[in-house]
Amino acid sequence: MIKKYLVIGNPIEHSLSPKLHNHWLKKNNIDAVYDKKKIDENDLKNIVSEIKEEKISGINVTVPFKKSIIPFLDELSFEANETQSVNTIYLKNGKVIGHNTDIAGFELNIRHCKYDVKGKKVLILGAGGVVPSIIFSLIKMKVSKIIISNRTKKKAEDLKNYFKDIDIVDWGVVTNFDMIINATSIGLKNEDKINFDYSAVGMDKFFYDVIYNPKETIFLKRAKLFGNRTENGKMMFIYQAHQAFTIWHNIMPDIDEETIKLLD
Ligand code: ATR
């Protein structure tokens, strides 16, 4: 029987995971199909039981279920447990395992663009689903300081339960930094912009936006105008998918020009 894979989330219409995974499945002659499914909180339990019953072979989880799916899983990988965030699910020895490939996705992206993040001061805007993974990844890469700024301060403070050494500042406060990461949803709509005093931050900083569609948010566009280095989240997305594919199929698919173009 043809193997079935899924990405679940809400909303899910714009997910590019099926495009990427189906491309790699075809390239590697694997008899499987990867679909997307919009679900509600109430569906989580049933979807996970389909993994146990081997009706589905693997699931990617996206916003807003990366944390709320955890109670329905049998085991978490070290990374998923430390971040309380799951984006990849599979069955191993009869147990449903939750893993986090966003961490490796972010790290591989930073290494791919050859930015030396070690010893750097990083300001993160936002405290949503992907932020614990980015923090974990940054700590692993030995940054010197992580500062979080989120509109709802409580959500930033909650992150302190997992990561004791982070600093929290009020939304709108721009601290001194080497690298700044937009992990909010501001910028998804073309006209969205973050109020930010670019002239105050210098011109040799690294601006990273998790958003890759649009390709260049106003956040990145303006940063570039002021002479800073920029990078969007496209390679992070590709690398997290690459890691999930490798786990499920025991094959490392190619990340070539054709793959990267799929997401343009
Ligand atoms: P979730 O929070 O459900 O995981 P997300 O898309 O991962 O969803 O996170 C959205 C992030 O963008 C949050 O940090 C959110 O801030 P709040 O915690 O205050 O909601 C942030 N965000 C979205 N719209 C924003 C806006 N107009 N101004 C400031 N922050 C915004």
Check if the beta carbon of residue 170 is closer than 8 Å to that of residue 191.
Answer: no
Identify the residue whose tokens are 């199909």. 33
Domain ranges of the chain: 3-100+237-262, 103-232
* 132-156 tens-digit pLDDT: 999 999 999 999 999 999 999 999 9
* 37-74 tens-digit pLDDT: 999 999 999 999 999 999 999 999 999 999 999 999 99
Other residues' Cβ atoms within 10 Å of the Cβ of residue 54: 12
Q: Which of 26, 27, 55, 66 is labelled catalytic?
A: 66
Ligand 1 near 193 CB (within 6 A) = no
Question: Domain 103-232 maps to which CATH number in 3.40.50.300, 3.90.1150.10, 3.60.15.10, 3.40.50.720?
Answer: 3.40.50.720
Ligand 1 near 152 CB (within 6 A) = yes
Q: What is the pLDDT of residue 1?
A: 85
Report percent pLDDT > 70 for the chain: 100
**Ligand 1 nearest-atom number relative to CA 152:** 19
> In whole numbers, what is the pLDDT of the chain averaged over residues?
96
Query: What residues contact residue 73 under an 8 Å CB cut-off, 6+ apart?
Result: 48, 86, 89, 96, 97, 98
Q: 186 C-alpha vs ligand 1 centroid, how far in Å?
A: 8
Residue having the nearest C-alpha atom to atom 20 of ligand 1: 152
189 flagged as catalytic: no
What is the three-class DSSP state of 221?
helix
Look up the CATH superfamily of 3-100+237-262: Leucine Dehydrogenase, chain A, domain 1 (3.40.50.10860)
The answer on pLDDT for 101 being more than 90 is yes
Ligand 1 near 253 CB (within 6 A) = no
The answer on pLDDT for 85 being more than 90 is yes
Mean predicted confidence (pLDDT) in 94-112:
98
Mean predicted confidence (pLDDT) in 206-230:
95
Could you give phi then psi for residue 54, rounded to 5 degrees? 60, 25
Mean predicted confidence (pLDDT) in 20-36:
98
Check if the beta carbon of residue 228 is closer than 8 Å to that of residue 178.
Answer: no
| Pick from 25-39, 99-113, 151-165, 193-207: least confident | 193-207
* 163-203 tens-digit pLDDT: 999 999 999 999 999 999 999 999 998 888 888 888 888 78
Residue having the nearest C-alpha atom to atom 21 of ligand 1: 184
Same fold, 3-100+237-262 and 103-232: yes
Q: What is the pLDDT of residue 121?
A: 98
Across the strands, what pairs with 90? 58, 97
What is the three-class DSSP state of 190?
coil
Residue having the nearest C-alpha atom to atom 30 of ligand 1: 151
Q: What is the pLDDT of residue 68?
A: 97
Check if the beta carbon of residue 81 is closer than 8 Å to that of residue 102.
Answer: no
Q: 185 C-alpha vs ligand 1 centroid, how far in Å?
A: 6
